[in-house]
Amino acid sequence: MKKIMQSLILIVSLLVIVSCAIPREHDEILSKLEITYATGDSENSVTQDITFKNEAHKNYTITWSSNNEAIKIEGNKGIVTRLDYDVDVTITVRVATTLEFKEKTFTLTVKALVVEVDLEEILDSISIQYSGNDTKDSITQDITLPNAAINGVTVSWTSNHAAIKIEGNKGVVTRTSSDATVILTITVSKDSKEAKADFTVIVKAQDATQPTDQEKLDVAKAALSITQTNVIENFELPLTGLNNTTVTWSSNNEAIEIDGADAIVTRGTEDVTVTLTATITLGELTTTKTFSVVVKTEETQLPTDQEKVDEAKEALTIDEEEVTADFELPLEGLNSTTITWSSNNEAIEINGKNATVTQGDEDVTVVLTATITLGNLSTTKTFSIIVEAKEIVNLTDEEKVNKAKDALTLDELDITSNFELPVEGLYNTSIEWLSSDLAISIDENNAIVTRFIEDVVVVLAAKISLNEITVTKTFAVTVKAGAPMDINIVVDEVDLIFTSGDTKDTVTGNITLKAPIIRFVDIIWNSDNSIVEISNDIAIVTRQEETTTVRITAGIIMGGQTHTKTFIIKVIGTEVTVDDIIDEISIQYEQDDHSASVTKDLILQNTYMAGIEVTWTSNSFAVQIHDNIGYVIRDTIDTDVTLTLTVSDGEETALKTFEITVLARIIEADKSTVIMKYPGGTTTNMTPGNNAEIVGLDANLFNVTSTLTGSIYAGLNTSGQIRLYQTSGGTTLTVSIDNTYKITKVEFIFDTEVADAKFTLDAQEINKTKSELQAGNITFNDLNIQTFSIKNVHQTNTQIHIKEVRITIEEKEPKSNSLPIFEVEDKDTYSMIEGSEFIIPTLFAVDNFEQTMVATYETDLNTDVPGAYEIIYEATNEIGTTQFIIKVYVFEEGTNLDITIEVLEEVKESILINEEYTLPDAIAHDFKGDEITVIKSRETIKFMYPTSQNVWYYAKDAYGNEKYIYFTIEVINDPDNPGPEPGEYLPYYTGIEGLTGEALVLKLRTIISTGFISVSYGDARYVLEDSDLDPYDNNNSIRGMYNQSKIATSWIGKGDGAWQREHVWPNSKLGISTVNNSSRNQGSDLHNLRAIDGINQTRSNRYFVAGIGSAKTVGAEGFYPSDKDKGDVARILLYMAVRYDFLKLTDNETLLGNDSSTNYTVEGAYAGMLSILLEWHIEDPVDEFERNRNEVIYQEQGNRNPFIDHEDLFEPVYEYFVEVDEARIVQPKAKVVVKYVLTIDEVRRFRL
């Protein structure tokens, strides 16, 4: 024992000696460890990789580490990644033994990248997006014109033809009877620089066989009806009609007041006959139809028993019309009436409420009679029900088709309005319909009827098919004559189409005579001079030596009426010289401008007649010529400009110069409020492009545009009014400000003539009535917007006259001082076979003002030559330039690029609930046979409810090729371990039994926070691909939030089919800044994210309010999420309030409102309205979609929504938050600065 004690003392002594010696050797080694920088770099400016001294020492280990991915440690190298902003990085070197270590740190600055913007590259990156199968040479539908601001670069479009009207980022297409060649001009500009490009497209002619808008309107008018003739209570009126028409209503007596679709009835002491007038609108066309309704005398006596029985009879309905199985009938009716039933055919036998169905070999129509009884009074009501024939399995397809043919009938043969056609027949046959005449056009199962001034017999052919067998059955129907068409509509369509370059005053070539082809309408053309000879639909022109005036008349004959339309033209003489022409052409100046004082754009005549070329050139940047406009750019000093006019007939040329002076622009002192006002003095119109200067705004700061209404833009009146017209859909006036500023207040001052208007503040739409505008001014406060607009939406031809608009602006603070950040949603490597088509992807980046920009690119890609290529994208802001590189590999023809994935064990087809199942491993090989990594959708799965779950394996090679394989696993009930009984909780919620109030909330918060795995906002896109699959569509689509739309099952970030991630609790109300794809916080919580498409902008950050029906905005800041999604919303909001204690539910509209001073701060982290959530939870209970979604999120994020698992938990938790909100005292707003850092370590624990 003594020897053992001596040995222990010796060992301890040695350890003490060694440990005392260690620190001195640590310091000596650390002092020799330094970082080597690339040439020109230092610790304060790192742009290239760095090198560490990493030598081995006896008994010591030396390790280097970095606190930021801007410098990544690889061996003795520090690999540098430069970001779009400077990054401070701490490098730590540690010298250690098995007993102790010592560290030394270095602080380095990795410098940001810097590049400049190139307008031409931005211009080259923008292209027109066509709909369907359209191309630039064949346009039949509206087109999309990208116009988003790109890094402070303004993008705008103009059109030279009414066939395409520019509305925002849409080119609205109007097709006529002939093809139209349209030049679309895109202008990109920043500061004083701009670049332009033209796109020439062709709008195809409208199919002449289609009915005109007037014909569609007449059909809608004939079809419009209401059922009310005598009324005692409120009723509803239709707001839409046939052929996509809209209907508005007015009343001539206060006994019926109209509020949208609601007719509000006020009964008096006498019957009152009220005339209701329906105004039916289609595009610019309107018509009216009247209905007489009698408001019955107000009666005080109670209804008699007979009246009660009659009311019960009227209310009685049954759902069944065609039956194959037994069903139930009601035995009690309104007003405590009893109902008994009888049948006239043994195909349906009645026993109390049970109707027993017996199917035969043929369909049988059975009449069921209901006897409604109250006391000694009774009445009857009958219902016809078809008992469908039972399937005869031994019939051949041909026999089935012939039986279906025999059974097919049409109810009506004399037609006055649209009707439906059957598209399914007996024995599951399909029916396709054809029409012999345009009086009836077929659209699937809809027969669209056009009535003419005489009866028209139409043959309808039904092609009845089953598998390969088809037979035809025909029906002769008569479309009855309708009201005669307004001859003025026909007159408007009659016109002259001149040879390219000609006008009515400069005719040199033949003229096309445009006349609509309408049944029972004749058009006769005449000329009063033989030099213009009429031949069919062409006027053949023979030019004389002298210019000659000719009168062409069109006689329109319809239904006994005749109308004459006259055209006066000038046929240019053959002896006219270029000198004669050049003398006639001059510059047209805007009001108050002249040659020595030019401040506004010039109008330059650039056409004369066919064969004559008229061109203008400018010797100065101060006048930029495009088409017939000389766009004036005013410098800080006056600029003398020479404009040269050239006229040529191909043989002779004449020149003429004009000397003008463009005055310097007036630079005003900075103002917080500017006034948009037309000074008046002359009457004109806005023009394509920016009209800021003409209405007194700085064109370098503001962009003012107008939509084309008919053939003109917004009017500018001599008395100083800006006029918005109602025709052709209504004029829209849009004002936007440079990206570095924001608009905080807008005040409109109106003149006496006003109309209904729609205001748009960024994406928020607000409708105001004519009476509201008549108050004189409309003001919008507390804004934070870039763009606003006003549109005339009145139903009748009424203008809006604007005196002025007062705009309050502030300079914006950048969200960061960072370079643009690419939002790359697609892969960065591609492979293809030589000769294949490759579409270069469009990439987007976000600048330091959080505005999206389109990146430019350069590439030497040649898809016909095998090799490796790069596409180098660049995005630039005032800080600098960020690059992103896509690699493209082109392989020789015949190369098989397929990836193979082999799952090593068979994947189970089903598992039990609560069974934890590990997916088998798999191996994959690329097309060269090299093994590559396989990723599973998840390692293990475990579900608490029966469901159907998709799992997948994925592999991607170094060349961008990728492959998925999918399996479906059914989760079924475990007979030996059934789920919890009613009133019991899943094991996940152990410990909540008996808890209420705050104790319950705190326990639930602990449960759903434990095991939480933070998923990035970027990765959330791909989780939603699984979690939001719609089981009611057999998982063939993703279910869109609020509108239940069918969304593509793979993430599409931009373009056709694009969808987004909706924050149900809005991002701006989560107490954090705007999320990005790398965010891992409450903004990326999967339970709060839902797939959504176009309605995302409509919802914006509006708080939830009560409503009914489909999703809609309510007032300026409210939003109703639809009957089908309101329960989902309630359960998500309550989950978020439990999960994050700084998120608060309230009914206080001041706290809920869109407040730019508290948005994106903890101070503004409110959602609601709280008081309606319990009602929503009850009325829209949990469904299969939510249960499946909860399971998928549990697999990915590790926590559950308790209010989906156990609906009974909702009410006690809700009541707790109601008490908290009622006790909340709202203090006056004070500025609160909250600073915190949230990180997540490798074991996913939170540190604050």
* Domain residue limits, the chain: 2-110, 119-203, 213-295, 305-387, 397-479, 497-571, 578-662, 673-811, 821-891, 900-972, 987-1224+1231-1247
CATH number corresponding to 497-571: 2.60.40
Q: Which residue has the higher pLDDT, 609 or 1042?
A: 1042
Output the pTM of the full model.
0.38
Q: What pLDDT, on the 0 to 100 scale, is given for residue 934?
A: 92
Q: What pLDDT, on the 0 to 100 scale, is given for residue 919?
A: 92
Cβ neighbours of 1153 (radius 10 Å): 17
Q: What pLDDT, on the 0 to 100 scale, is given for residue 55?
A: 62
DSSP 919: P
Q: What pLDDT, on the 0 to 100 scale, is given for residue 660?
A: 94
Q: Give, for 767, the enclosing helix (H) or strand (E).
A: strand 764-768
Give residue 547's pLDDT band: very low, low, confident or very high (50, 70, 90): confident
Q: What pLDDT, on the 0 to 100 scale, is given for residue 463?
A: 93
Distance in angstroms (rounded) separating the CA atoms of residues 66 and 52: 12
Read off φ and ψ for residue 1216, nearest 5 degrees.
-65, -45
DSSP per residue over 1004-1040, as a string? HHHHHHTT--PPPHHHHHHHHHHHTB-GGGTTSSEEP
User: Residue 467 in contact with residue 399, Cβ under 8 Å?
Assistant: no
Q: Which of 154, 168, 237 is nearest to 196 (CA)?
A: 154
At 692, which amino acid appears?
A: A
Q: Which CATH superfamily is domain 900-972 in?
A: Immunoglobulins (2.60.40.10)
User: 305-387: which CATH number, 1.20.120, 2.170.130, 2.60.40, 2.60.120?
Assistant: 2.60.40
Provide the β-strand partners of residue 843: none
Q: Which of 426, 334, 323 is nearest to 368 (CA)?
A: 323
Q: Give, for 1195, the enclosing helix (H) or strand (E).
A: helix 1184-1197
Q: Which of 86, 93, 99, 89 is nearest to 59 (CA)?
A: 99
Distance in angstroms (rounded) separating the CA atoms of residues 400 and 408: 12
Q: Which residue has the higher pLDDT, 711 or 166?
A: 166
What is the tens place of the pLDDT at every residue in 205-228?
876 556 778 888 888 898 888 888
- Tell me what the pLDDT averaged over the chain comes to: 84
Q: What pLDDT, on the 0 to 100 scale, is given for residue 916?
A: 86
Tokens describing residue 653: 């040329």
User: Residue 705 in contact with residue 734, Cβ under 8 Å?
Assistant: yes
What does the pLDDT average to over 429-434?
91
Give residue 31's pLDDT band: very low, low, confident or very high (50, 70, 90): confident
What is the tens place of the pLDDT at every residue in 836-863?
998 888 888 877 776 777 789 999 999 9
Tell me the H-state helices in 671-737: none
User: What end-to-end distance do the CA atoms of the chain give, in Å?
Assistant: 54
Q: What pLDDT, on the 0 to 100 scale, is given for residue 14?
A: 45
pLDDT at 676 over 80: yes
What does the pLDDT average to over 1101-1124?
88
DSSP 138: B
What is the tens place of the pLDDT at every residue in 1066-1081?
998 998 888 888 888 9
User: 821-891: which CATH number, 3.40.50.1370, 2.40.160.60, 3.30.420.40, 2.60.40.10?
Assistant: 2.60.40.10
What does the pLDDT average to over 889-902?
93
Does 1.20.1260 match the CATH number of domain 213-295?
A: no
Spatial CB neighbours of 289, under 8 Å, sequence gap ≥ 6: 221, 224, 277, 278, 280
Q: What pLDDT, on the 0 to 100 scale, is given for residue 107?
A: 92
Give residue 12's pLDDT band: very low, low, confident or very high (50, 70, 90): very low
Does 2.60.40 match the CATH number of domain 2-110?
A: yes
Does 1.10.10 match the CATH number of domain 578-662?
A: no
Give residue 669's pLDDT band: very low, low, confident or very high (50, 70, 90): very low
Q: What pLDDT, on the 0 to 100 scale, is given for residue 485?
A: 64
Q: Which of 501, 570, 500 is nearest to 541 (CA)?
A: 570
User: 673-811: which CATH number, 1.10.1220, 2.60.120, 2.60.40, 3.90.1310?
Assistant: 2.60.120
Tokens describing residue 402: 């012939």
pLDDT at 403 over 90: no
pLDDT more than 70, % of the chain: 91
Domains 213-295 and 673-811 belong to one CATH topology: no
> What's the burial of 613, exposed, middle or buried (CB within 10 Å: 0-12/13-18/19+)?
middle
Distance in angstroms (rounded) separating the CA atoms of residues 260 and 250: 10
Q: What pLDDT, on the 0 to 100 scale, is given for residue 1098?
A: 77
Which of 36-45, 950-959, 970-979 is the least confident region?
A: 970-979
